[in-house]
Amino acid sequence: MVNISGNAVTMPWINQTPAVVQSWYLGSETGTALAAILVGDVNPSGKLPFSYPVKLSDNSAHAVGDYPGTDGVVKYKEGLLVGYRWHDEKNIEPLFSFGHGLSYTTFQYGKAALSSNALSADGQLICSVEVTNTGRRAGSEIVQLYIADKKSSLPRPVKELKGFKKVKLEPGETVTVEFTIDASLLQFYDDQMAQWVAEPGKFDAIIGASATDIKTSASFSLK
C-alpha cells in the first residue's frame, strides 16, 4: 500500500496489507522515486515526523474536545502534551509512533554509556551508544535522544526529544553515536519567572529508534 498524503491518516485496513509506504507529496518524480524504493534499488531510511493514531480521538486536539473550536477560536487545552507526548502521558499506543521507520536492513543497539553520571550547570557530558547493521544491505538509521525529568516543580512530558543523528552503515558495520548533553537540554520555561529553568535532580538519557521503540537508557544528575 502506497499512501500519498501530507499528514497522518487512520488505517483501519492495516491488517489487510503486508506493508505501507508513506510517500508524502513527491512532485513530478513521484513515479521514479517510488519505483526505486519498491524494487529495492534504494534502501529507505525516513522516519515519521509525527505519530499516526489508531483513531482520530487518540490525538490530543480531538481528545480534549475543542477542535475545530467555536466561532473560529480554538483553545489548545492539551498544553505541552502534543503528539507523542500526549500518547506517553495517556498510555495510548499509536498505530505508528513518532520517529518510526523501517528499511531493508536491521539495526542492533548497544548499551547507552555516559561520560559522567553527574552534570554541572555549566558543564556537559557525552551520551554514547553503539549501533550495528545486522542485515545484508547498507542502510541508514536515525538514532534519537530523549530526556526524561524524573521530578519537576512544573508538569512536564514523560520524555522529550532532544537530539537525533543519522548514520549510514555497511552490513556488519558498527559505529558509536554520541550526543552532547548540557543544562540547556534539561530546561523548561517557567512562565511565572519568565525564564528558562533547569532544576537540579535526576534525569534519564533515553535512546530509541522511535518514541516507542526504546533501546537503552542511562541516568544522571544535574547538580
> Same domain, yes or no, for 131 and 177?
yes
User: Looking at the predicted structure, is the pLDDT value of residue 75 above 90?
Assistant: no
Does some domain include residue 97?
Answer: no
* Residue among 174, 161, 182 at smallest CA distance from 114: 182
The pLDDT of residue 67: 82
For 160-211, what is each residue's pLDDT tens digit? 999 999 999 999 999 999 999 999 999 999 988 999 999 999 999 999 999 9
> Same domain, yes or no, for 43 and 122?
no
Does some domain include residue 99?
Answer: no
Q: And the C-alpha cell for 193?
A: 519567572
For 54-74, what is each residue's pLDDT tens digit? 999 999 988 988 788 889 898
Query: Residues near 181 by Cβ (< 8 Å), separated by ≥ 6?
Result: 119, 124, 125, 126, 127, 145, 147, 162, 205, 220
Report the CATH number at residue 123.
2.60.40.10
> CB count, 10 Å around CB of 89?
16
Does some domain include residue 101?
Answer: no
Q: How far apart are the first and last CA of the chain?
A: 51
Query: What backbone phi and psi angles, to 5 degrees, belong to 178?
Result: -120, 140
Among 90, 116, 151, give the residue marking a domain's end: 90
For 40-54, what is each residue's pLDDT tens digit? 999 999 999 999 999
> Same domain, yes or no, for 73 and 120?
no
The pLDDT of residue 76: 87
Query: What backbone phi and psi angles, to 5 degrees, belong to 74?
Result: -115, 130
The pLDDT of residue 218: 98
**CA distance readout (Å), 169 to 83, 113, 139, 175, 176:** 30, 21, 6, 8, 11
The pLDDT of residue 2: 95
For 11-21, what is each residue's pLDDT tens digit? 999 999 999 99
> Same domain, yes or no, for 140 and 208?
yes
Q: And the C-alpha cell for 102?
A: 523501517
Give the chain's mean pLDDT. 95
> Same domain, yes or no, for 138 and 211?
yes
Does some domain include residue 187?
Answer: yes
Q: Are 204 and 151 in contact (CB under 8 A)?
A: no
CA distance 186 to 188: 7
For 118-145, what is each residue's pLDDT tens digit? 999 999 999 999 999 999 999 999 999 9
The pLDDT of residue 50: 95
Question: For 72-97, what is the mean pLDDT?
Answer: 94
As for how many domains the chain has, the answer is 2
The pLDDT of residue 172: 98
Domain coverage including residue 160: 107-222
